[in-house]
Amino acid sequence: MNSVQYAVPMPRETLTREQIVQAAVTLLDEAGIDGLSMRKLGQRLGSAATAMYWHVGSKENLVSLACDRVWSEVGAHDPAELGWREAARRHARDTYETLRGHTWVIAATGAYFVYGHGMARVQDASYAIYEAAGFTGWDLDWAVNAASTFAGGAALSDASLDPVKQRGDTAAMREALAEAGEIAASYPRLRARLEQQAGVDEAVFVEEKFDFGLEIILDGLEARLRAR
Amino acid sequence: MNSVQYAVPMPRETLTREQIVQAAVTLLDEAGIDGLSMRKLGQRLGSAATAMYWHVGSKENLVSLACDRVWSEVGAHDPAELGWREAARRHARDTYETLRGHTWVIAATGAYFVYGHGMARVQDASYAIYEAAGFTGWDLDWAVNAASTFAGGAALSDASLDPVKQRGDTAAMREALAEAGEIAASYPRLRARLEQQAGVDEAVFVEEKFDFGLEIILDGLEARLRAR
DNA sequence: ACCTGAACACCGTTCAAGT
DNA sequence: ACCTGAACACCGTTCAAGT
């Protein structure tokens, strides 16, 4: 009579670390770094908020895992096949695009300790590219750093607009934006540039801006190689 | 008999917006972005946490004001006096050093909308420098962007170690660091570089790394100017 | 092995009330 | 004009207890 002691666990599969991290990424993409809470995440997964602790240990670790999952999206670009400069170009663009799709990674990186295989693999790939270019020793570190710092900085620029996009419809936010515009307009050079930029397609603008900086850096690195 | 209706306000000066922002910067420097709370701040200032709302409106606005106070620390570097390249160099270094002293600005920039006169002044100064170099139109925007994106990216790199430094003494943190080391060591190129870098003075390392990247960018920009 | 619920010590913010 | 205290709706995390 009590052969079935409790609900059979058949249709209700057990929670997975992978599943939790995936849900966290989705929630972060939708609601930003402040939009993630263990309770909201639990609600989405249909379980208690505290169930997650068994799988991921802490919120910090969960965010770190989520970041690493994003880093894993960055593709591989073989310098032997493409030539180092083209591989470097694609690697940097790919990194930037990936971070742009998950801007909360920037805020997370500043607030939590983030490191994992995804990020390490991207770093290693970067070293492979600049090694193929001919850099060795400290110059190799510097070259890798110049390119990836620029990509990270570009992502930071984008991330700074994220809080606006996240709640752009509130009155307080519109007011803050208007105030920022007024401040910028009170500096002659900024006003002139804003007038020039008005009405330009932002997507194209951002793309060209990134490509210009990237080519500048690749030019500079190539000049260093020749100077040897 | 009731001529003194309540405590005379003589020695107890009134709270000031300036005072609150200053205390917030100090607290943020000490405890990082997660270390700031309205209650802790109120405690430091000897008043109720809710007293701050009258002066700064919200935590978001307070953080924005704190960031702008940091931006105000960046100095002015006159291209007419120093030459554009030296002015650009000092401007970028100054920006980087300032952000390095207040790494929470990076996390704050990703989580809140941050803009103010301090930041606008730094941008305007940057435009002045690259205008003096001879850049005009969109190239001027791109040149300003290349340099400041690199400085921001370098600050982001530093900020990523901030969570570790903030609570480096905990067992969980040491474990996380050791795990990160193990991960990196499993990639051949990263392991080789880590072995090379072991025992090098980190301060010098960081400085040289930044200078290399900066000169690369300035080289690249100068080449563009010549190509016209 | 995996999950729940209650509990704890925190948060940001609002608002009526005080001086 | 400026500040307090209580209150509200949230947090992350621990832990005993359940299945």
Q: State pLDDT tens for residues A1-50.
A: 333 333 333 335 799 999 999 999 999 999 999 999 999 999 999 999 99
For the segment B35-53, the average pLDDT, to the nearest whole number, is: 97
At residue B13, the 3 state secondary structure works out as: coil
Q: Could you tell me if residue B198 is left (phi over 0), alpha (psi between -120 and 50 degrees) or otherwise beta?
A: beta
Higher pLDDT, residue A198 or B151? B151
Predicted confidence at residue A90, as pLDDT, reads 98
Domain extents for chain B?
17-57, 79-227
Report the C-alpha gap between A79 and A213 in whole angstroms: 21
Do residues B111 and A107 make contact, with C-beta atoms less than 8 angstroms apart? yes
Nucleotide closest to A16 measured between CA and C1': C2
Report the C-alpha gap between A113 and A120 in whole angstroms: 14
- Find and list the nucleotides of strand D having atoms within 7 Å of a protein beta carbon: 1-6, 10-15, 19
Tokens found for residue B96: 């980087």
Residue A21's Cβ-side half-sphere holds a number of Cα atoms within 13 Å equal to 18
Predicted confidence at residue B199, as pLDDT, reads 87
Predicted confidence at residue A172, as pLDDT, reads 73
Tell me the CA distances in angstroms from A174 to A33, A179, B19, B56, B150, one per residue in order: 21, 9, 27, 18, 29
Strand C CB shell (< 7 Å): A 14-15, 42, 46-48, 50-51, 54-55; B 5-7, 36-40, 49-50, 53, 58-60
Please list, in sequence order, all residues whose beta carbon lies within 8 angstroms of the beta carbon of residue A125, skipping any fewer than 6 positions away. A74, A76, A77, A91
Higher pLDDT, residue B85 or B14? B85
Q: Is the pLDDT of residue B11 over 80?
A: no
Predicted confidence at residue B167, as pLDDT, reads 75
Tell me phi and psi for residue B115, to 5 degrees: -160, 140
Q: Show contacts of A10-14: CB within 8 Å, 24+ apart.
A: none
For the segment A199-204, the average pLDDT, to the nearest whole number, is: 86
Tell me the CA distances in angstroms from A99 to A106, A216, B79, one per residue in order: 8, 21, 34
* Residue of A129, A187, A216 to mutate, testing the B interface (most B Cβ within 10 Å of its Cβ): A216
**Of residues A67, A52, A159, A74, the one with CA closest to residue A113:** A67
For the segment A178-207, the average pLDDT, to the nearest whole number, is: 93
**Top-ranked range on mean pLDDT: pick from A10-24, A150-164, A171-185:** A150-164
Higher pLDDT, residue A165 or B179? B179
Least confident segment among A175-179, A216-220, B93-97, B168-172: B168-172
Do residues B184 and B190 make contact, with C-beta atoms less than 8 angstroms apart? yes
Predicted confidence at residue B172, as pLDDT, reads 74
Closest Cα in chain A to B32? A111
Do residues B35 and B27 make contact, with C-beta atoms less than 8 angstroms apart? yes
| Average pLDDT for chain A | 92
Higher pLDDT, residue B125 or B10? B125
Q: What DSSP letter does each residue of B176-205 carry, written as one string? A: HHHHHHHHHHTSHHHHHHHHHHTT--HHHH
Q: What DSSP letter does each residue of A52-78 carry, written as one string? A: HHHHHSSHHHHHHHHHHHHHTTS----
Least confident segment among A95-99, A140-144, A166-170, B113-117: A166-170
With a pLDDT cut of 90, the percent of chain B lying above it is 82
Predicted confidence at residue B112, as pLDDT, reads 94
pLDDT digits (tens, 9 = 90+) for B151-203: 999 999 999 988 888 876 677 777 888 899 999 999 999 999 999 998 888 88
With a pLDDT cut of 70, the percent of chain A lying above it is 94
Q: If you count them, how many residues does chain B have?
A: 228
Do residues A104 and A29 make contact, with C-beta atoms less than 8 angstroms apart? yes
With a pLDDT cut of 90, the percent of chain A lying above it is 82
Q: Is the pLDDT of residue A75 over 60?
A: yes
Q: Do A110 and B193 touch (CB under 8 A)?
A: no
From the list A112, A138, A183, the residue facing B163 with the nearest CB is: A112
Q: Is the pLDDT of residue B27 over 50?
A: yes
Predicted confidence at residue A19, as pLDDT, reads 98
Q: A79-227 in CATH: which number? A: 1.10.357.10
Predicted confidence at residue B168, as pLDDT, reads 67
For the segment A50-72, the average pLDDT, to the nearest whole number, is: 98
Whole-prediction pTM value?
A: 0.92
**Of residues A223, A228, A227, the one with CA closest to residue A85:** A223
Angle made by CA atoms B127, B129, B131, in degrees to the nearest 5:
65
pLDDT digits (tens, 9 = 90+) for A110-128: 999 999 999 999 999 999 9
Do residues B171 and A227 make contact, with C-beta atoms less than 8 angstroms apart? no
For the segment B95-100, the average pLDDT, to the nearest whole number, is: 98
For the segment B54-75, the average pLDDT, to the nearest whole number, is: 98
Report the C-alpha gap between B127 and B217 in whole angstroms: 16
Do residues B102 and B29 make contact, with C-beta atoms less than 8 angstroms apart? yes
Give the pLDDT band (50/70/90) at residue A202: confident
For the segment A196-209, the average pLDDT, to the nearest whole number, is: 90
Sign of CA dihedral B32, B37, B40, B44: positive
A 10 A CB-CB count for A102 gives: 20
Tell me phi and psi for residue A177, to 5 degrees: -65, -45
Q: Is the pLDDT of residue A204 over 90?
A: no
CATH architecture of A17-57: Orthogonal Bundle (1.10)
Predicted confidence at residue A168, as pLDDT, reads 67
Predicted confidence at residue A169, as pLDDT, reads 67
CA-to-C1' span, B16 to D1 (A)? 12
Burial of residue A130 (CB within 10 Å: 0-12, 13-18, 19+) is: buried
Q: What DSSP letter does each residue of B24-60 carry, written as one string? A: HHHHHHHH-GGG--HHHHHHHHTS-GGGHHHHHSSHH
Give the pLDDT band (50/70/90) at residue A140: very high
